[in-house]
Amino acid sequence: MTKIDTSRPESVLPTPSHTVGPFYGYALPFRGGEDIAPLGHPDTITVHGHVLDGEGKPLPDAFVELWGADPDGHVSTTDGSMRRDPASGDYLGRNGVEFTGWGRIQTDADGHWYARTLRPGARGRSAPYLSVCVFARGLLVHLFTRIYLPGDEAAHTDDPLLARLAAERRDTLIAKDEGNSTYRFDIRLQGEGETVFLEYQ
């Protein structure tokens, strides 16, 4: 056994550093994660945006998870969102028929993400929204937020969460309508215009 004299700093060798990650790209992505709406559904909407750091720079290795109710406000109980090919073991994605309401999207090299889903219906006293979970470098704990869609202004006024926020903070939770059933929602992790994040207890 080698003994090290810790009273002499020059005899102590540095230990290797440990990387905090993220390591999401290894096991979490799956084919078709952005296709939440059933194939060819006439009421499909597209939600997209960038994940940005405190300096406004895009993060190319973040993950965005979305959950949403169907247009009637019902939360799906369909089992799973991933299917495996029994022969190859590869992920095939969804079967294209059931609406699971859930998807997982990795940002591209420009920090951009997108998902095709159905516009959610209202649940309880809340205005219709999509739940969001963000995984990104520098985050030891993932973040939760919501995406409210424009066109529900009356419901936004009565929403318990939005009603508690100042106007400028509320705007960070409402997507921008780009036409053709497409909505933009950038997620700013910190700094000016930081997205409102939620803490569940």
Distance CA 38, CA 182 (A): 17
Q: What angle do CA 177, 56, 146 make, to 5 degrees?
A: 45
- What gap in Å lies between CA 81 and CA 166, rounded to an integer? 36
Residue 2 pLDDT level (bands cut at 50, 70, 90) = very low
**AA identity, residue 195:** T
Residue 50: which of 68, 62, 41, 35 has the closest Cα?
A: 62
Using one digit for the tens of pLDDT, what is the confidence trace for 130-168?
A: 999 999 887 878 999 999 999 988 999 999 999 999 999
For residue 11, what pLDDT is reported?
57
Amino acid at 56: G
Q: What does the pLDDT look like over 89-126, one tens digit per residue?
A: 666 666 777 888 999 999 999 999 999 999 999 988 99
User: Rounded to an integer, what distance in angstroms lies between the CA atom of residue 108 and that of residue 119?
Assistant: 24
Alpha carbons 64 and 51: distance in angstroms, whole number: 9
Give the pLDDT band of residue 86 (cuts 50, 70, 90).
confident
Taking the model in full, what pTM does it have? 0.83
pLDDT of residue 68: 95
Rounded CA-CA distance 106/67 in Å is 15
Q: Which residues contact 89 (CB under 8 A, 6 or more apart)?
A: none
Report the DSSP beta bridge partners of residue 144: 133, 198
Beta strands in the chain (DSSP E): 44-52, 63-68, 102-106, 112-118, 129-135, 143-148, 176-179, 182-184, 187-188
